[in-house]
Amino acid sequence: MGDRVTIDPIAAARSSTAVCPHLGRPAPAADNETELSIPDWTNRCLALTDPIRLSPDQQRLVCATVRHRTCRRHLLAESGAAPTAFEPIRPLLLRPAIVASLAVLALAAAVAIGYLASGGSLVIPGVESV
């Protein structure tokens, strides 16, 4: 048998432009490493002005494949849209549905406390206790 040839899937993907061009490091690695390893916790999405950390699964399953072309950050960067095109996320407690739910919960608690404070009973008529 002849020599076995091994193919590095990441190098093959990089050469076939399957890897997202926005995947990289915001600053050179401390050890002057120039080759981009995928997945690697030092990699960031550099598509917009705010580099974000990507999980190894995200890098392997999306960034290192042609699926990166459907990524929202990639699409915004390629279209020339400003980084402000992202909708700001409202804080959790300011969402109307959560505020309404908390108001209903507070009202129900007030009614229950008022009922018990006014001499109400939790005993159901016709049911004998053991």
Bridge pairing between strands 23-24 and 44-45? antiparallel
- Give residue 67's domain range: 9-85
- Report d(CA 105, CA 109) in Å as an integer: 6
- Residues 86-118: tens digit of each pLDDT: 455 555 556 788 889 999 999 999 999 988 888
Q: Does residue 32 sit within a domain?
A: yes
Is 70 within the bounds of a domain? yes
Residue 122 lies in a domain: no
Number of structural domains, the chain?
1
41 located within any domain: yes
Taking only the tens place, the pLDDT of each residue in 46-84 is 888 878 888 889 888 888 888 888 888 888 888 876 554
Q: Is residue 94 part of a domain?
A: no
Domain assignment present for residue 19? The answer is yes
Q: From residue 96, how far is each of 19, 100, 101 by CA, in Å?
A: 41, 6, 9
